[in-house]
Structure 1
Amino acid sequence: MFTIDAHLDLSMNAMEWNRDLRLPIETINSREVGLKDKPDRGKAVVSLPALRKGNIGLVVATQIARYVAPDNPLPGWHSPEQAWAQTQGQLAWYRAMEAAGEMLQVKDLDGLEKHIKLWQEDNTSEHKPIGYILSLEGADSLVNVGHLEIAHAYGLRAVGPAHYGPGRYAQGTNATGKMGPHGYALLAEMERLNIILDATHLSDESFWDAMDHFNGAVWASHNNCRALVDHNRQFTDEQIKELISRGAVIGAALDAWMMVPGWERGLSTPVSTNCNLEVMIDHIDHICQLAGNTDHVGIGSDLDGGFGKEQCPYDLESIADLGKVPELFAKRGYSNTDIEKLMHGNWLRFLRKAWA
């Protein structure tokens, strides 16, 4: 089934992990044998050929570069200008993939409809370009709010104001606090430019602050449920209900520590915690039960978002295995219409409304 994945850090993998994503996953991993600089070396599950194999023809692909103040122990850049430059290098990689015929940027309704038609109706070409909608994960790299208009001009269509820790515009995972004046200015400019607000990673206080100050389109590209895994990275039922009331779609993430309770980094394994794709369906089903329908769920896998096979479902060898999800969803009693909504229909409905 045609599938949309609403969160992949493709340029980060290409630029910081130095992976040529045009190659088969096996080739990428073979080149990383013996490397120890990243915990997931040799364990990648994402490549452009794997996306094609899984009929994952449209993704939300990120730029990401965190600014870190002197007292911030997280990895990142020491000035907003350096962070901005990093995102521009990532943009250059996307442009190079477009020039090579590997990817195609989707940034408006006409482009969306043409790309969907290509993937759903054209069976003459096996090497179709992967469509990508550009998103900024964490707004720290915007030197000032004026940079958002520059980014919009090159195709940026969604922004998550925060990532991990304290941010320049909002507070993120494991941080606390509201957004503040710079964050409010960012939200106002996003609303003016019709840029989607990605609520993922916002601290609880910043989440509710954003909901109070933003009237545009909201989604959560990759987020799971706090009722199942009790951590501030996850959404409470109240937050999920708020997103549902806003017409949002929430993408289920496949990072094991977000899927199963009690994950201990460096100790737990997907097998020891029984983390498989069924657990992903548990989170999706929880949202459906809160909504009373299947209109607000999708996939935002976050695969190879700084982790690999060591920290994703044990029954997933590559991202192409998202093709197993429809059968698992059907086993829970969901209809073919429900399955189509999960795999692509809800994201398409959302974008058609947001870009109308």
Structure 2
Amino acid sequence: MFTIDAHLDLATNALSLNRDLKKSVQEIRGKERFLELDDTPDRGNGSVALPELRKGGVGLVVATIISRFSEVGRPLPTLKLVGWHSPEQAYAFAQGQLAWYRVMESQGEMVQITNLVDLNAHVQLWQDETTPNERKPIGYILSLEGADSVIDFKYLEKYVENGLRAIGPAHFGPGRYAPGTHSGGGGLTPLGKDLLREMDRHNLILDATHLTDKGFFEAMDIFQGTVWASHQNCRAVVPGERQFSDDQLRVLIERGAVIGGALDNWMLIADYDLDKKEDSKKLGINMEKLVDHFDHICQLAGNSDHIAFGTDLDGLFGTEQMPYDMDTIADLVKYEGILTKRGYSQHDIEKIFHGNWLRLLRSTLV
């Protein structure tokens, strides 16, 4: 089935982790194991590459640029996220990630989707079974995960000219526009409130993922446009600030948002200890755990219109921090059987795989 994944950090993997994503996952793992790389926990365990996206029918993704600013350099060393010492450096690094996407386009590996005509044509291509998936480019919608690299609003316009369609103002830790996960809380900065108004003016999508509770409700009051949560699970199922409360989920549902379910172990079960590198199988963390979050959102909404995939499967973790019954992103196809077993209709399943994201995108892109 044609599948949309609303959150993949492809350029981060290509440049920060030096992965040739044209190669298969197995080839990338083999090289990293041969070189005995250990700078991130997922070395030798990665699960996302372009061949596996095609194999799994994941023909459209929301692909990120991540470039952080931090006066102290590396505020979150466990995540190996560089914090550039100036917004100008952050912007320059972000342009390197954009250049990687452009190279992938020039080689026919990917194609950027910025408008409704291109979206519909790309979906038609991927739903055409007469053309093998191996010959189809991966479509991508460009998103900023964390807005630190937007030096000022003139640079926001440059991003828009380069096809940017969504922004998540926050990421991990403090941010120029909004504090995020593990920041200690707090609301939007004055600059962040202005950013939301500028995003409205440019018809950009607001990604609410990673916002603090206070920042979330401030953003919902200010921002008037389309909202999604690209990779977000439920606090009622797994407690913690990284998940959204029922009150937050109800606001998103009222706004017509879609919430992309993430497949990181610490978002799937309570009390998962990242430092212990706990065994997924011993803890019973399988793919079905995500459906618990889907079920909860469906109960709040009274329908299945607001759930989909935002896997984050290449978010600086791999099989060591994934459900035990997954090897690569191609295994998303297993959710057809899992969701059927849990009582979802074929129509519901199609909405989860692509229909809900398409509905939102078609109502936003022009």
TM bucket, shorter chain: over 0.9
SS at 1:51's partner residue?
Answer: helix
- CA distance in structure 1 between the aligned counterparts of 2:313 and 2:95, rounded to whole angstroms: 22
- CA distance in structure 1 between the aligned counterparts of 2:230 and 2:73, rounded to whole angstroms: 29
Write out per-residue CA displacement over residues 230-278 of structure 1, whole angstroms, 9 at most, x where no aligned residue.
Answer: 1101000000000000000000000100111111113222112211100
Q: 1:69 aligned to 68, 71, 89, which one?
A: 71
- CA distance in structure 1 between the aligned counterparts of 2:315 and 2:72, rounded to whole angstroms: 25
Match in the other structure for 2:346? 336
Match in the other structure for 1:308? 318
For residue 71 of structure 1, report the CA deviation from its aligned partner: 8.4
Contact 2:186 2:212 in 1 (8 A): yes
Q: Partner letter of residue 29 of structure 2?
A: N
Match in the other structure for 2:196? 187
Q: 1:224 aligned to 230, 233, 250, which one?
A: 233
Q: 1:128 aligned to 129, 132, 136, which one?
A: 136
User: Given the two structures, how large is their TM-score scaled by the length of structure 1?
Assistant: 0.98
Relative distance call for 1:71 and 1:46 in structure 2 (3 A) is closer
Q: Partner letter of residue 22 of structure 1?
A: K
Match in the other structure for 2:16? 16
Contact 1:145 1:185 in 2 (8 A): no
For residue 39 of structure 1, report the CA deviation from its aligned partner: 1.1
After TM superposition, list the pairs within 5 Å mapping 1:86-105 onto structure 2.
86-105=93-112
Count of aligned residue pairs for this structure pair: 356
- CA distance in structure 2 between the aligned counterparts of 1:194 and 1:204, rounded to whole angstroms: 24
Contact 1:256 1:311 in 2 (8 A): yes
Match in the other structure for 2:41? 39
For residue 122 of structure 1, report the CA deviation from its aligned partner: 5.1
Match in the other structure for 1:169? 177
For residue 72 of structure 1, report the CA deviation from its aligned partner: 6.6
Q: Partner letter of residue 111 of structure 2?
A: L
For residue 124 of structure 1, report the CA deviation from its aligned partner: 2.7
- CA distance in structure 1 between the aligned counterparts of 2:131 and 2:209, rounded to whole angstroms: 38
Q: Partner letter of residue 154 of structure 1?
A: N
Write out per-residue CA displacement over residues 135-178 of structure 1, whole angstroms, 9 at most, x where no aligned residue.
Answer: 00000111112211110000000000000011100110122111
SS at 1:6's partner residue?
Answer: strand
Contact 2:176 2:189 in 1 (8 A): no
Q: 1:258 aligned to 242, 267, 286, which one?
A: 267
- CA distance in structure 2 between the aligned counterparts of 1:73 and 1:134, rounded to whole angstroms: 25
Root-mean-square deviation (Å): 1.1
Contact 1:244 1:291 in 2 (8 A): yes
SS at 1:7's partner residue?
Answer: strand
Q: Partner letter of residue 320 of structure 2?
A: E
Relative distance call for 1:56 and 1:280 in structure 2 (3 A) is same
- CA distance in structure 2 between the aligned counterparts of 1:231 and 1:69, rounded to whole angstroms: 27
- Structure 2 stretches lacking a partner, 5+ long: none
- CA distance in structure 2 between the aligned counterparts of 1:337 and 1:319, rounded to whole angstroms: 22
- CA distance in structure 2 between the aligned counterparts of 1:299 and 1:221, rounded to whole angstroms: 8
Q: Partner letter of residue 28 of structure 1?
A: I
- CA distance in structure 1 between the aligned counterparts of 2:65 and 2:304, rounded to whole angstroms: 29
- CA distance in structure 1 between the aligned counterparts of 2:99 and 2:74, rounded to whole angstroms: 28
- CA distance in structure 2 between the aligned counterparts of 1:12 and 1:205, rounded to whole angstroms: 28
SS at 1:272's partner residue?
Answer: helix
Q: Partner letter of residue 10 of structure 2?
A: L
- Structure 1 stretches lacking a partner, 5+ long: none
For residue 201 of structure 1, report the CA deviation from its aligned partner: 0.2
Q: Percent same amino acid among aligned pairs?
A: 57
Moved over 4 A (4+): none
Write out per-residue CA displacement over residues 271-318 of structure 1, whole angstroms, 9 at most, x where no aligned residue.
Answer: 122111000111111111110000000000000101000001110011
Matched, 1:119 2:126: yes
Matched, 1:248 2:257: yes
